[in-house]
Amino acid sequence: MIIDLNLYHKKAVIVGGGIEGGRKVRGLLGQNCYITVISDHFDPYLSALANKGQIQIIKSEVDDSTILDDYNGSLFLLLACTDDRSLNRTLVEKGRSMGAFVYSVDDPSYSDFSYASIINIEGVMQVAISTSGKSPIMARQVRIKAERVLKRVIKKTDIENTRLQEFARNAARTKIHSVEDRKKFLYSLINDKYIQNLIRENRIEDAKSSTIELLQKWGEQAA
């Protein structure tokens, strides 16, 4: 089962500053979570992110799981990415005992989840391809093929409609109290020729203004 965790303002710790640690950090960027990488060395990519303030790095030898003691009660996600299988398992056991979701880079059967290969389109849409841990290499190969197709199929208007839907959904919560009515309102935006034309012309602020005007009418009808 593929799920999308809500990581907003949650603590994610990656132990291991090599290539695998960098890949996992790359997947977490943009999720609005607090990312900490612990390692005795860091590849240039991670060092650059730390210099920009996008992640925190802690330079430390990691011999056991005591390095996680400082995160007791605050750890949401632990990714063990060292090149020591036994150490990774020890870290995973400790993280799990702390109530965190855990992942070991070389031991998917002992992890709480497997990593999907993600197609990310403008930070708005993500499509996951997973082999349930059977072959990350094949998941990556299929992702490359699928990405070419999806980037042709998913248009700029789809991305802007997604952003407008988020804007409209947040605004509608205070005006339309019925879930079913809110859903009908959101569908009406997709079918509104004027708003869709504004999106095609890249007049996004005008589309938002028209959305608010339409929402006002819906709110009056629902009152």
Give domain limits for the chain: 1-113, 116-154, 156-222
Could you give the CA distance from residue 114 to residue 140 in angstroms, rounded to a whole number? 13
Q: Is the pLDDT of residue 117 over 90?
A: no
Report the DSSP beta bridge partners of residue 58.
Answer: 38
Contact 87, 67 (CB under 8 A): no
pLDDT of 1 over the 80 cut: no
pLDDT given at position 120? 85
Q: What is the mean pLDDT of residues 115-130?
A: 86
Fold classified for 1-113: Rossmann fold (3.40.50)
Q: Is 15 left (phi over 0), alpha (psi -120 to 50) or beta?
A: beta
Comparing CA positions, the residue from 148, 134, 145, 195 lying closest to residue 167 is: 195
Q: How confident is the model at residue 80 (pLDDT cuts 50, 70, 90)?
A: very high
Residue 43: CA count within 13 A, CB half-sphere: 12
pTM summary value: 0.73
Mean pLDDT for 78-91 is: 96
